[in-house]
Structures are given as C-alpha cells and as structure tokens.
Structure 1
Amino acid sequence: MSDSLPGTETPEEETAAVEPEYDPAGPAPLNVPRAPTGNVDVDAQLERLADADHLATDGHIEVYEDVHRGLRDALTALDARPGPPGPPSPYGHRS
C-alpha cells in the first residue's frame, strides 16, 4: 500500500524544467550591417529586412516581397517628383 494519496503523484516529465532545445537550423539573426542611405523610405525598408532574422526560412519570402514592394514604391516616388520643366520641343506640340 502506498502512503501517497491517489491523484497526487506527478509524472517525472511534468516536474522536470522544460528547456528549449538548441536548433542549429532554427532562425538566427544574420547581423548584416545596414548603412543608412539618407532616404527615409529606403532606410525604413532596409530596417524591415531585420524582421526576417527571427523567422524560419519559409517566412523570409513574405518579408523580402514586402521590402521589394516598398523599395519599388520609393523608386517610383523619386520619378514622380515634379522637377524643372524640360526644354521645349523644336518640333512643336503634336496632337
């Protein structure tokens, strides 16, 4: 006969401290230096790349596509800025 009460016994698995296992294939920061470009929009996109450091490889594509879209938008915005008018055409205006 046991001295312990029924239902008060704890399996060893529950009493042992659960420590996360080291996974060499798991996500790890790449610590790639990112130098500021001076363009706020571009710098924000480059910083966004750090989000991939904490994701498994299959999660990187979403971050990379988002950054690519943001960089493309920043480049398009540079083209859309009004600049000085170009020289008049020697051929006149055609309709």
Structure 2
Amino acid sequence: MSDAVPEPSQEGPVDPGYDPAAPAPLHVPRTPTGNAEVDAQLERLGDADHLATDGHIEVYEDVHRGLRDALTALDARPGPPAPSPSYDQRAPSPSYGTRS
C-alpha cells in the first residue's frame, strides 16, 4: 500500500472563462398568455438571467409594477352595461291607493 496521494486527473481542457458563480440563464419556459402587455412583462423576467443575484430585485419589481398596471388597466376598461334592477321603478298606477 502506498501513502502517495493521487494527482487529480485532467479529463479535458478547462475553459479559463468559465465561472461557476457567474449568472446563468435558467431556461424557464414562458408560455404566451395572449395579452401583449403581460407577455412583454414575462419576457422581461429573462433579463434577470444575465444579472448577478443582487440585480434580480430591480427586474422583479419592474415586472411586478408592469403586471399590476396591466391588471389595473383591465379594471378601467368599460365593460358591459350593468343589468337593470329586478324591481319595477315606475310610478305607481293611478288605481293604487284610490277607492271607487
């Protein structure tokens, strides 16, 4: 038995530009919603893939603000008219309250 420590094997050239701690895309699929404003905000999330972790919050806050604005805009759009009340608001008939 030998007390010698084996040398680490070199299985291939190491890319000198590779940094395992560097930002890397997550490749999370983004399914289109059909709403252009919302889809643009979802695509904006991809910007965080190329930023360090401390830069993510700015992107997330921007996307959150954009989604909130898109939802607010949906509430502001005119919708169908409100249904008419179910009770009759006409003036009472002259025969009500008169005695013959």
Residue 10 (structure 2) pairs with residue 49 (structure 1): no
Residue 66 (structure 2) pairs with residue 70 (structure 1): yes
CA deviations on 1:56-79 (whole Å, 9 max, x unpaired) are 000000000000000000011111
Counterpart mapping for 1:1-95 below 5 A: 21-89=17-85
CA distance in 2, matches of 1:20, 1:61: 30
CA distance in 2, matches of 1:68, 1:81: 20
What's the secondary structure of 1:38's corresponding residue?
A: coil
- 1:59 to 1:20, Cα distance in 2 relative to 1, 3 A: farther
* Other-structure match for 2:92: none
CA distance in 1, matches of 2:64, 2:41: 8
User: Number of aligned pairs?
Assistant: 73
Gaps of 5+ in 1: 1-18
CA distance in 2, matches of 1:20, 1:55: 20
Deviation at 1:23, TM superposition (A): 1.6
> Normalising by structure 2, what TM-score?
0.66
Q: Hey, which of these two has a bigger chunk of helix by percent?
A: 1
> Normalising by structure 1, what TM-score?
0.70
Matched AA of 2:23: P
